[in-house]
Structure 1
Amino acid sequence: MALSLAVSPCPNDTFVFHALVHGLIPGTPEVNLTFADVDVTNTAAERGEFDLVKVSYAALPWLLDDYELLPAGGALGRGCGPLVLARSAGQELTGATVAVPGDRTTAYLLFRLWAADQRPAKIEVVPFDRIMPGVADGTYDAGLVIHEARFTYQRYGLVALADLGEWWEADTGLPIPLGAILAKRGSADPAEATEWIRKSVSMAWANPAASHDFVLANAQEMEPEVVQQHIDLYVNEFTLDLGRDGLAAADALLQRSAAAGLTPEVKLS
C-alpha cells in the first residue's frame, strides 16, 4: 500500500526525501509525493489529507490529535530564521501593510511574538515568491520571508529590519523550530517512518550527487550555489534527530505562543 507524502519543493526537502520517494531504501513502501507550500500543507493536514506531511511547528496545536510529531526530517537550526524586510531601515511597522507567507507559519508566529508592541494596519497572506517583489515595488511596506530569501533579498534593494532567528536564539538560547514532519495516526507507523526518513537523510549526505537533478528540477529557478547554501543551512543534525534541544525549542515556541493567547495550549515534552 502506497504512502502519501507532502513536502515543499524547497531544496532541503527534496534533498532529504529523494531516496525515500525514489524507492532507494529497501523495505519501504511506494510513496506518492505531493509538492505544496507549507501554508497549503498546514491546512491540508488539518483535513487529514496525507500520511506523512511537512508542516509548520506553529500549526501543531491544531494537528496533534490526528498526527504524531516525528523526530526526523524537519527543519530546525541556528542562523536560519525568518527575516522582516523593507525598502528602508527606517520603516515603521505600526500602521504598515505587511506581507506574510501564511497565517499558521512559524515565521508569522515568531513575527507576532517579536512585534507584540507594534500594530501593523494590515497583514496579507501572500505566496512566498511574491513577497520580495511586492515590497520592492511598494505594494507592501514590509514583508516576512523565509528560506532562500536570506541569500537573495539584497537583489531587490531591500534591507532587513530584523532577523527573527537571531532574536529567538538570543532570547532563548535554543535553535529555531521551523518545519516539522508528522505521521498520521493509524496510517503511518511513527517508528518505521522515522527510520525511513533517517535512512533517506543519511543516503543524501553520503551521496549528494544522487539527488542533484531532482533537487534542481524543483528548486524554483534558484541558482545552484543558492540551492547548496539552502541545503547546508537547513539540513543539519536536527534533521536526523530532533533531540533534546530541538524538542525544547519546539516546546518553548508553543508555550510562549499559548501564553500570549496566539495558539491553543499544547505540550510536546
Structure 2
Amino acid sequence: MSKIKIAYSPCPNDTFVFDAWAHGRVPGAPRLDVTFADIDITNGMAERGEFDVLKVSYAVLPYVLDEYALLPCGGALGRGCGPLVLTREPGADLSDATVAVPGERSTAYLLFRLWAADVLPEGVSRVVVLPFHEIMPAVRDGKVDAGLVIHEARFTYQEYGLNCLADMGDHWESTTGLPIPLGAIIAKRSLGPELLDLLAESARTSVRMAWDDPLASRPYVMEHAQEMDPVVADQHIGLYVNEFTADLGEAGYAAVRGLLTRAAAEGLVPPLGREALSFVGPRRL
C-alpha cells in the first residue's frame, strides 16, 4: 500500500493525536506522508481535493462532503474550548468595529457569526482575515478593534494586555447544550469503505496510545509547537484532546449537525444532505 497523504496543523493537539501513527507505532496502520499546514490552508486543500486525509474546520464540511467522508475520531470538539473575541478595553462596543478573524471558512468565524446574529442587532461593520498568530498583536497595536482568536491564545491573551469581550463557546453551549465543534478529520470517499475503516481505527488507536504514554509524543509536539511554552502546550492538549477525539459519538454528531444546520438557516453555508455526515465504517450514524 502506498503512503496515505495527510495534512494537519503543527498545533500540539494534532501532533499529540497523530504522533504514534506518524512514527509507525500503530499496529497495522497505513504509513503516512505528513504535511504540516495551518487549518486555513488545509481548508483550501480540501476544497481542491489535494490530500487523502486532512484536518479541517467543521465549517468547511458543506463544501467538501461530496468528495470526503467525516471520520468519527481524531478531531477537536469539546466543552469550554471555544473561540474568544478580544478587545483592548473591557466591554468595548463592536457596532462600528473592525474585527480580525482567522479565516472566513473557519469554524471560529461560523460561531462568531451565529453569536453576532444573536447579540449584535446591527451586525459587525468590517471583518478582515489575518493569520491567527497575527490577530492579538493587531488588536494590541490598534490596527483592528477586536480579534477572534483560537488555539492557545485562550491561555496567553492577557500577556498582550487584552480583554475577553465574549466567549463563542460559552454562547454556543448555553444556547444549544451541545459541545463545541472545531476541527474535523476527513478522508477521501474514493479510498473505499475498508480503507476508511482502517484509517478511522488507526486514528482512534493513535489517540489512545498518546493517552497511555503522554511522554512518548513530547518530542514531536515540542518540535512543531513554534517555541510554545511546554506548560501552554500541555494546556492546549488537555483542552482539545478529549473523549470526542477518540469517538464523536451521538453528542458529537449532534453538535456538528446543529452547527451546520443553524449556519445554513442563517445563509452562512450550503445546507447538508440527509446522509452527508454518514461514515461507511463501524461507527456509522
- TM-score class normalised by the smaller sequence: over 0.9
Q: State the match for 1:187 in structure 2.
A: 191
CA distance in 2, matches of 1:90, 1:151: 20
Counterpart code for 1:255? T
Q: State the match for 1:34 in structure 2.
A: 35
Deviation of the 1:120 alpha carbon: 2.4
Deviation of the 1:119 alpha carbon: 2.8
- Residue 168 (structure 2) pairs with residue 167 (structure 1): no
Where 2:191 maps in the other structure, the secondary structure is coil
CA distance in 1, matches of 2:64, 2:190: 14
Deviation of the 1:3 alpha carbon: 0.4
Q: State the match for 2:249 in structure 1.
A: 243
Tell me the TM-score normalized by structure 2.
Answer: 0.92
Match of 2:144 among 140, 150, 171: 140
Counterpart code for 2:113? R
Tell me the TM-score normalized by structure 1.
Answer: 0.98
Which segment drifts farther, 20-29 or 239-248?
20-29
CA distance in 2, matches of 1:118, 1:232: 37
Where 1:85 maps in the other structure, the secondary structure is strand
Which segment drifts farther, 62-71 or 181-190?
181-190
Q: State the match for 2:282 in structure 1.
A: none
Q: State the match for 2:56 in structure 1.
A: 55
CA distance in 2, matches of 1:169, 1:19: 32
CA distance in 1, matches of 2:126, 2:170: 25
Where 1:239 maps in the other structure, the secondary structure is helix
Q: State the match for 2:225 in structure 1.
A: 219
Match of 2:213 among 204, 207, 213: 207
Q: State the match for 1:129 in structure 2.
A: 133
Where 2:148 maps in the other structure, the secondary structure is strand
CA-to-partner distance for each residue in 1:21-50, whole Å, 9 max, x for gaps?
111112222211111111111111011111
CA distance in 1, matches of 2:218, 2:122: 43
Equivalent pair of 2:178/2:251 in contact (CA under 8 Å): yes
Which segment drifts farther, 117-126 or 158-167?
117-126
CA distance in 1, matches of 2:54, 2:182: 14
Q: State the match for 1:158 in structure 2.
A: 162
Count of matched residue positions in the alignment of Structure 1 and Structure 2:
269
Q: State the match for 1:89 in structure 2.
A: 90
Equivalent pair of 2:30/2:199 in contact (CA under 8 Å): no
CA distance in 2, matches of 1:261, 1:51: 29
Equivalent pair of 1:93/1:118 in contact (CA under 8 Å): no
Match of 1:259 among 261, 265, 272: 265
Deviation of the 1:186 alpha carbon: 1.3
Gaps of 5+ in 1: none
CA distance in 1, matches of 2:234, 2:161: 23
Counterpart code for 2:56? V
CA distance in 2, matches of 1:34, 1:134: 28
Equivalent pair of 2:102/2:109 in contact (CA under 8 Å): yes
Structure 1 vs Structure 2 CA RMSD: 1.0
Structure 1: 4+ residue segments shifted above 3 A? none
Where 2:35 maps in the other structure, the secondary structure is strand
CA distance in 2, matches of 1:26, 1:157: 47
CA distance in 2, matches of 1:40, 1:50: 12
CA distance in 2, matches of 1:204, 1:118: 46
CA distance in 2, matches of 1:196, 1:18: 11
CA distance in 2, matches of 1:220, 1:121: 33
CA distance in 2, matches of 1:190, 1:254: 23
Gaps of 5+ in 2: 278-284
CA distance in 2, matches of 1:221, 1:119: 37
Deviation of the 1:205 alpha carbon: 0.5
Which segment drifts farther, 97-106 or 86-95?
86-95
